Chain A
Amino acid sequence: GEDVEQSLFLSVREGDSSVINCTYTDSSSTYLYWYKQEPGAGLQLLTYIFSNMDMKQDQRLTVLLNKKDKHLSLRIADTQTGDSAIYFCAETPYNQGGKLIFGQGTELSVKP
C-alpha cells in the first residue's frame, strides 16, 4: 500500500542547516514533493523531484532521493526564523493521476 512517514518535530538554531526526512513505501511513485504549511494557511509547493533523479537543488533547498531505501530528504541551508512551519512530504503513485499521498508533516521550529 501507500504510506509516507516523517518525524513530527525538528528544532534548529537560526543559521544552521535543517534536514527533514521522509520514507515512503510505494516504489512506483513518479514524483515526490515537499510542501510547506505556515500557521493558518494552505499548503505551498516548495519543490519536487522526479523519481529518476537523485538530487535537486533550488537556492537554499536541496532534495535528496534514495530510491533503493525509499528515502527522501529536504535540506534547508542557513535556516531562518521565517522557515518555521510544517513541512509535508508527499508522493504521487504511478497511474493515479494527481492523487497526492502526504506524510504527517514535520514541524520545524527555528530558534534565534
Chain B
Amino acid sequence: DAGVIQSPRHEVTEMGQEVTLRCKPISGHNSLFWYRQTMMRGLELLIYFNNNVPIDDSGMPEDRFSAKMPNASFSTLKIQPSEPRDSAVYFCASSLAPRVFEAFFGQGTRLTVV
C-alpha cells in the first residue's frame, strides 16, 4: 500500500482565494483525520470521520473551513476564503477502528497564503 496520499504537497495562494486539500486514506481504513501543524499552536485536530461520517469537528477554526468525505477513499479540506493566518502544514491520517491508535499520517500539504 502506498500509505496515506495527500495532494498537493505545496500550495501557495493569495488571500481570499479558495483552497482545496485532498487526501486518499489507506485502503480499508475507516477512520480519517485532518490535523493542522503550526509553530505557534503545534498539532491540532481539525476534524475526524468514522465510516465517512464526521464525528468531531470541534477543531475546525471557523466557517471558512469545511471538510467532506464523499466515500471511503477520498476526503477534502476546503478553506474559503483563505487568510494568511491559515498558512500551516495540513496533515491527513487514517486508521482502522477500533485500532484507531495506529494512525498513519500522510506527508502533509504545506499551505502558504500571501
Contact = CB atoms under 8 A, between A and B. Distances in A.
Contacts of B101: 31, 33, 45, 48, 92, 98
B106 interface: yes
A31 B42 CA distance: 20
Interface residues of B, number: 23
A98 B47 CA distance: 11
Contacts of A45: 101-104
A104 B107 contact: no
Contact of A44 (B43, B45, B100, B105): B105
Main secondary structure of the interface of B (DSSP, over half): strand
A92 B107 contact: no
B91 A92 contact: no
A42 B108 contact: yes
B42 A103 contact: yes
A6 to B, nearest CB: 10
A92 B45 CA distance: 12
B14 interface: no
Interface in A29-67: 31, 33, 35, 40-45, 48
Interface string B67-106: 0000000000000000000000001010101001111111
A99 B105 contact: no
B31 A97 contact: yes
Given A97-B50, A104-B42, 16 more contacts: A35-B105, A41-B107, A41-B108, A43-B43, A43-B91, A48-B101, A92-B100, A92-B101, A97-B48, A97-B56, A97-B100, A98-B33, A98-B50, A98-B103, A102-B42, A105-B42
Interface of A: 31, 33, 35, 40-45, 48, 88, 92, 96-105
Q: 10 tightest A-B contacts by CB? A: A98-B100, A42-B105, A102-B43, A43-B105, A31-B101, A104-B42, A42-B107, A98-B31, A42-B108, A42-B106
